[in-house]
Amino acid sequence: MSKLVTIFGGSGLVGRYIARRMAKEGWRVRVAVRRPNEALFVKPYGVPGQVEPLACNIRDDASVRAMIQSADAVVNCVGILNAVGRNSFDAVHAEGAGRIARIAAAEGVQTLVHLSAIGADPASDSDYARTKGEGETAVLAAFPGAVILRPSIIFGTEDQFFNRFAAMARLGPILPVVGANTRFQPVFVDDVAQAAVKGVLGQAAPGIYELGGPEVDTFRGLMHRMLAVIERRRAVVNVPFFLARIMAFGFDMVQALTLGLIENRVITRDQVKNLARDNVVSPGAKGLTDMGITPTAMEAVLPEYLWRFRPSGQFAAIKRSARNLRKA
């Protein structure tokens, strides 16, 4: 019988790519998610019955154990950018990660891959970075042979970074950003998935890997790259951190007063803290090349999914050709 991998958060941005790659490797794939009905799109990644989404609550031991039983490998891709209700940073990033690792070890799982983030630090003043760091500590305490991946900003067809700002660029002549001079090292989503699969297959040594693409640029620089791809001229305006903190406080209060019914999807106070720090691979850290993976450049991918934000959408190239013909 083929081997079984359980992917927690297997329908998310990175998880879906890992699920597809593991199915191609011939593994049975168990996709553990909160809402399996919203993850049915993963089923065609393999033959009928090979990839199955199942309901799981990583805050509950019994639920996690049910997903891990009989699995040969486990991948944890669960992560949040905004704490809402019971899904707090502590519950998801720290306690949830530790629970998955502890139960995986108890169930005799052979390999564990944990998706963290660059900047993970138990001493950080950011709840996101702090709990990511605490999660890593809990994972290594329970499963010392785990492979931990720390990606920078992830880009790809379904990303919430370039897609989000490209959509904003359609609304007016100004594109506001917080932390315009903060540096990032965007990494392609399928490169991260390939790294996770190498961890599952035992093709990567246990330890921590920081994953970044071949290019480092500022937030402002990344926005100019994106604007060039979508063929729009916009003024990229930096929002000062003091003003961003005031705005974020207001949005956070709306979420708190409505008990999460109105979720803060703009910017949180914790996100402002993270935007003040560079998000690049640390000097000397193991990365994609140490796993035998060549990082994918942004220019090779961005046009493939950002074309829809161009003024003429998919017909932009045709209109340019038509203009050249008229000039001739």
* Cα-Cα-Cα-Cα dihedral sign, residues 24, 213, 184, 126: positive
pLDDT for 183: 98
Q: Give the pLDDT band of residue 276 (cuts 50, 70, 90).
A: very high
Q: What average pLDDT score do residues 280-290 get?
A: 96
Residue at 227 is within a domain:
no
What average pLDDT does the segment 292-304 reach?
Answer: 97
Q: Using CA of residue 312, residue 313, residue 314, residue 317, what is the dihedral sign?
A: positive
Label residue 258 by pLDDT band (50, 70, 90): very high
Residue 280 has pLDDT above 80, yes or no: yes
Residue with tokens 């993970």: 120
Task: Give the per-residue pLDDT at 313.
Answer: 75
What distance in Å separates the CA atoms of residue 318 and residue 316, rounded to the nearest whole number?
Answer: 5
Measured CA to CA, the distance from residue 94 to residue 105 in angstroms comes to 17
- Domain range for 58 is 4-159+184-214+279-293
Cβ contact 314:308 at 8 Å: yes
Asked if residue 197 is part of any domain, the answer here is yes
∠ CA(298), CA(116), CA(68), 5° rounding?
A: 120
Structure tokens at 211: 């994953």
> How many Cα atoms within 13 Å fall on the side-chain side of residue 300?
13
Radius of gyration of the chain (CA): 21
Number of structural domains found in the chain: 1
Report residue 316's pLDDT band, with 50, 70 and 90 as the boundaries.
low
Backbone angles phi, psi at 265, to 5 degrees: -105, 10
- Residue 247, in any domain of the structure: no
Read off the pLDDT of residues 150-187 as tens digits, 9 standing for 90 and up: 999 999 999 999 999 999 999 999 999 999 999 999 99
CATH of the domain at 289: 3.40.50.720
Tell me if 249 is assigned to some domain. no
Residue 110, CB-side half-sphere exposure with 13 Å CA sphere? 11
Q: Is residue 106 part of a domain?
A: yes
Query: According to the model, what pLDDT value does residue 234 have?
Result: 97
In this predicted structure, the answer to whether residue 144 has a pLDDT above a threshold of 80 is: yes
Task: State how far the alpha carbon of 222 is from the alpha carbons of 11, 39, 70, in Å.
Answer: 27, 31, 44
* Residue 313, domain member (yes or no): no
- Within-domain flag for 124: yes
CA distance 217 to 180: 10
HEC letters along the chain: CCCEEEEECCCCCCHHHHHHHHHHCCCEEEEEECCHHHHHHHHHHCCCCCEEEEECCCCCHHHHHHHHCCCCEEEECCCCCCCECCECHHHHHHHHHHHHHHHHHHCCCCEEEEECCCCCCCCCCCHHHHHHHHHHHHHHHHCCCCEEEEECCEECCCCCCHHHHHHHHCCCCEEEEECCCCEECCEEHHHHHHHHHHHHCCCCCCEEEEECCCCCEEHHHHHHHHHHHHCCCCEEEEECHHHHHHHHHHHHHHHHHCCCCCCCCCCCHHHHHHHCCCECCCCCCCCCHHHCCCCCCHHHCHHHHHHHHCCCHHHHHHHHHHHHHHHC
Is residue 328 scored above 60 in pLDDT? no
Q: Does 226 map to a domain?
A: no
- What's the token pair of residue 71? 């699995």
